[in-house]
Amino acid sequence: MKKWLIIIFSIISVLVIDLVTKHFLFTIEYFNLIPNVVSIASNGGNTGAAFGIFSNKTIWLVVISVILIIVLFVFNYFIKNKNVLYCLSFGFIVGGALGNLFDRIFLPSHAVRDFIYLDFLKTFPTFNFADTFLTIGAILMAIYLIFMAGKSEKK
């Protein structure tokens, strides 16, 4: 039960952080948060996935996102050794996916609101907190799967 609370709390936290920051920061024309490092600015929205791939393929991206979330919950059912790392990584991935899915389904433009620029990486695309949590969650999940999955939990 404690592990489900961690998962649910992390999903809700990621979703709230993502949607609140998108609401307040996406409308900023330009703000240099850390000079030559990070800026906040609206990019007009991204109708594609990471790095703009599948632009204007909203229906496919919605279908793929829903399938991914369902597959993750099925995968979660079969994972027996759930530790805090696993629960957080699962919550980060699902919360991030739901954050971007919300934009694709409920915004009139069906575009994901990206607003974070890494100024020191000139060609790096803009992103948002959902993308950040998805990436961190995927890295943590990889660490879990490589080093911890299948190991018996010590009581």
How is residue 84 annotated by DSSP?
H
Q: What distance in Å separates the CA atoms of residue 142 and residue 146, rounded to the nearest whole number?
A: 6
Residues 6+ away with beta carbon under 8 Å from 127:
114, 116
C-beta of residue 125 within 8 angstroms of C-beta of residue 50: yes
How is residue 153 annotated by DSSP?
P
Which residue among 18, 103, 114, 119 is the active-site one?
114
With CA atoms as reference, report the closest residue to 134 among 94, 75, 105.
Answer: 94
Q: Over the Cα atoms of the chain, what is R_g?
A: 17
131 noted as active-site residue: yes
Residues 6+ away with beta carbon under 8 Å from 135:
none
Catalytic machinery residues: 114, 131
